[in-house]
Amino acid sequence: MTNTTILPKNMKIAYISTYPPRECGIATFNHNLMRAIGTNFPERNGLLKGDFVVALNDSEDMNQYEYPEEVKYIIRQNHQKDYIRAANYVNTSTADAVILEHEFGIYGGESGIYILPLINRLEKPLISILHTILKDPSYVQRVIIREIAEQSAKIIVMSHRAVDFLVNIYDIPAEKIQIIEHGVPDLEAPEDNPVKNLTPFKNRRVLLTFGLISRNKGLETVVRALPRIVKNHPDVMYVVLGNTHPGVIKNSGEEYRDHLKTLANQLGVAQNLAFINKFVAEEELIQYLTACEVYVTPYLNEAQITSGTLSYAVGSGAAVVSTPYWHAQELLDHNRGRLFDFKNADALAEIVNELLDQERVITEMRQNAYEYGLHLRWPVVGAEFIKVAQEACYEHDYRDKILKNSIVDPEIMPKFSLAHVLRLTDDTGIVQHAKYGIPNLKEGYCLDDNARALIMALMAHKRSGSREAFELLPIYLSYIHYMQTDDGNFRNFMSFSRQYLDDVGSEDSFGRTIWCLGYLIANADSNSYKEFATEVFQRSFPHFRALVHLRGMANTIIGISLYLEVHPTDEGMTNELNRLTTPLIEAYEKTQTADWHWFEETMTYDNAILPLALLHSSQITGNERVKEVALKTMEFLDNLTLSSGYLTPVGNEGWYKHGGNFPLYDQQAIETMAMVMMHFKAYQIFRKPEHIEKMFLCYKWFLGENSLRAPLYDHETKGCCDGLERTGINRNQGAESTLAYLISHLTVLEAFELEYEYNRFPQKLITAK
């Protein structure tokens, strides 16, 4: 979009980044960008009044660095709550827009995932600058970049290769991306350059590399090339300018620098290698760059999408020789430099000797680089960022972000797919676990998952007539039948070699099986399947009275309620429904207090299944007390888990004790499925739109509306990750989580259709109710 709105002179920008004095290339970049934007407003004296930085510390110490006054807030990298507080700080500030510098390593959690909750909470337009874009990202890295793009008004990259990666690897729309190349100092070479009088430069032809030193810089390639270069040009000196990277110092000291010195001594070129171990400001850096004959970047592989040091060298008009990493291929095109292959010291030596022999060639390269560098000067780059900020502010509408969480939008839902379920299912049943997206056959099968799978397959068949789904039904039914014992009870676990692993399963697995059988009896079109399910269901009936745990009872209540939808005159089963409902009501009445409306002193797992069971029971029996308890416990659960504007289910890290701390992680998919089904059932009964909105909000947990802003649904495998952990995602995609996602997905689609019919014919449905 193009507009003619003038950027207000009092516009304020918040920057999220590392920042000097922290020695970090991104810190330097952000510092320069702030001033580049400021120089476009000369009346405001450089740094814009009101601009501020949210700085990232790489230790627990808030006082780790002596920051300048523009740093107003500090995030400790591995403190998740700092990110939330920082978002609140920015939102309550006078900032009009936010610029985020992104590099995986500067943020906490797996691959820096802690940045996602921060940007999701921002109420200001966000512009994100991506400094690293990987060609082969991990699942979490791809998720992070996609989520940053989703939350950003614009994504800024520094090369055409970066755009290609984002579009084709990360599936980010091209119109969301803009190239603004890395800025360079707006400085000219001094007429009398003091660097030329330094000992390593005086009467020498200097090859130069600068930047933080670490092994991935490939400096040994230049050292290995020196003997051939020095043979032709004895006056050559290779100068390495810069400190060793702080992370390298911490882990291995100056081992790499010492290695380079030892290598030079072994090759007989120790007198041709000099280290200047210091950080230099831009004014001094230009002096070094313009004092050298050839600037060298010998990185070891192509995976470098942006190089600030290379940009600075080109911008200063240096003659650059480089390995062909991605940024170098673009920036040194059109005879702005020369390339040699990775780790190829002979090729480097040949190119350097050729250049040193031909002054005319070096002069031409320098001129080409200098002329190109004019449009990379920081004031020019700053002006481009101002235009981006201008459009971001113009287009930003706070109401869109607020409404996003309350609008039911089927367009954001992935296309339904059984691909991962088919991958997990063989002729025995569905395998319970997976390693990433690969079935883990070592773990065998369980009754719980085959019961869920039966419900999911029938839902899918009912919805679309899917032949694939229909053909899964006898597999899961057969497993359930095989696991039923002679007395009507059920085993749970079976090995991949079809050996029973237990004599009697858990009450949870029993109840879930009764639920699935009841669902089949109530919904199957095939009489043979209904008859089969009814026989298995009735054989298990004697064990209903043995249930003592609330969740086993709750699952069984749902199954009985579904059975009674088809057989409403079965008094024995109605009596059993009332009998099983009573312990839930008694547990609630025994435990509930003014601030605790729950069935137990501790909220553990699969919590929404309890009020869901009461909703089913009250719908069948009409018992008002049961309905009242269902609504009170639903409200209590909603207030705990939906108060942040997204679902935060009770985590399995200790569970939630009355009067204790709420455990944020490990969040499980079955919690979400139960919440989705609970609110759908409430909508079926009460027809209140709030239940549809809450149902959809819960479903979006799978898609990234969660405390880490990380999607658990895997668009590649069509499976669902097993949980949301403190530092990232559990990447295994077992049957439980995948089925929880698919059942939730199908429930949401069914709710859309019901809501549509209700809105078209409200009186008809009210009468029917």
Domain-embedded: residue 735: no
Q: What is the pLDDT of residue 172?
A: 94
Q: Residue 333 is encoded by which pair of tokens?
A: 């095109």
Q: Which of 7-21, 246-260, 564-578, 730-744 has the lowest mean pLDDT?
A: 7-21
* 199 and 160 inside one domain: no
Please give the pLDDT value at position 278.
87
Q: Helix/strand/coil (H, E, C) string of 382-450?
A: HHHHHHHHHHHHHHCCHHHHHHHCCCCCHHHCCCCCCHHHHHHECCCCEECCEECCEECHHHCEEHHHH
For residue 759, pLDDT over 80 is answered with no
Q: Among the residues of 20-71, which ranges form H helices?
A: 25-38
Are residues 114 and 77 part of one domain? Answer: yes
Within a domain: 157:
yes
Q: Scanning the structure block, which residue is given the tokens 């009697």?
A: 504
- pLDDT of the residue at 10: 63
CATH number assigned to the domain comprising residue 359: 3.40.50.2000
Same domain, 210 and 344: yes
In order, the DSSP letters of 480-498 are: HHHHB-TTS-B--EE-TTS
Res 402 pLDDT > 60 = no
CA atoms of 554 and 558, how far apart (whole Å)? 6
- Is the C-alpha dihedral spanning 420, 710, 139, 59 positive or negative? negative
Pair 268, 199 in one domain? yes
CA-closest candidate to residue 546, choices 521, 576, 590 = 576
pLDDT at residue 6 is higher than 70: no
Residue 760 pLDDT greater than 60, yes or no: no
Q: CA dist 557 to 84, 552, 653, Å?
A: 41, 9, 28
Q: Any idea what the Cα angle at residue 166 is, between residues 165 and 171, rounded to 5°?
A: 115
Q: Would you state the structure tokens that stand for residue 532, as one six-digit string?
A: 């089969």
109 belongs to a structural domain: yes
- pLDDT at 356 exceeding the cut of 80: yes
Q: How confident is the model over 150-176, as pLDDT tens digits?
A: 999 999 999 999 999 999 999 999 999
Q: Are residues 94 and 154 in the same domain?
A: yes
Q: What value does the mean pLDDT take over residues 347-368?
A: 94
Q: Are 88 and 130 found together in one domain?
A: yes
| Residue 527 resides in a domain | no
- The pLDDT value recorded for residue 9 is 54
As given in the structure block, the two tokens for residue 537 are 């269901």
Ranking 369-373, 418-422, 671-675 by mean pLDDT, the lowest is 369-373
Residue 128 within a domain: yes
Percentage of residues in the chain having pLDDT higher than 70: 94
Asked whether 381 and 36 are in contact (CB, 8 A), the reply is yes
pLDDT band at 407 (very low <50, low <70, confident <90, very high): very low
pLDDT tens for each residue of 445-493: 999 999 999 999 999 999 888 899 999 999 999 999 999 999 999 999 9
On whether the CB atoms of residues 62 and 74 are closer than 8 A, the answer is: yes
Q: What is the pLDDT of residue 188?
A: 84
If asked whether residues 320 and 387 sit together in one domain, one would say no
Nearest to 721 by CA among 525, 494, 296, 433: 433
Asked if 42 and 170 sit in the same domain, the reply is yes
243 DSSP assignment = P
For the chain, the domain total comes to 2
Write b or e for each residue in 647-676: b if 16 or more Cβ atoms lie within 10 A of its Cβ, otherwise e.
bbbbbbeebbeeeeeebbbbbbbbbbbbbb
At 403 the pLDDT is 42
Query: What DSSP state is assigned to residue 369?
Result: H
- pTM confidence score: 0.77
For residues 517-525, average pLDDT: 93
pLDDT category, 405, cuts 50, 70, 90? very low
Q: Residues 490-512: what's their mean pLDDT?
A: 95
pLDDT tens per residue across span 302-347: 988 888 889 999 988 899 999 999 999 999 999 999 999 999 999 9
Average pLDDT (39-63) is 80
Closest CA to 48 of 283, 281, 389: 389
Give the model's confidence band at 1: pLDDT under 50 very low, under 70 low, under 90 confident, else very high: very low
218 and 132, same domain (yes or no) = no
Residue 572 resides in a domain: no
Helix or strand or coil: residue 209? Answer: strand
Reply yes or no on whether the pLDDT at 254 is more than 50. Answer: yes
Residue 686: which residues within 8 A CB-CB, separation 6 or more?
Answer: none
Q: Does the residue 699 lie in any domain?
A: no
Share of residues in the chain with pLDDT > 90 (%):
76
Q: Are strands 445-446 and 154-157 parallel, antiparallel or unpaired?
A: unpaired
Reported as a pLDDT band with limits 50, 70 and 90, residue 39 is confident
Same domain, 346 and 395: no
Question: Structural domain of residue 257, as residue ranges?
Answer: 194-374
Per-residue pLDDT band at 397 (split at 50, 70, 90): low
Residue 765 pairs with which residues in a beta bridge?
none
pLDDT at residue 399 is higher than 80: no
Distance CA 748, CA 746 (A): 5
Same domain, 307 and 262: yes
Domain membership flag for residue 708 = no
238/262 same-domain check: yes
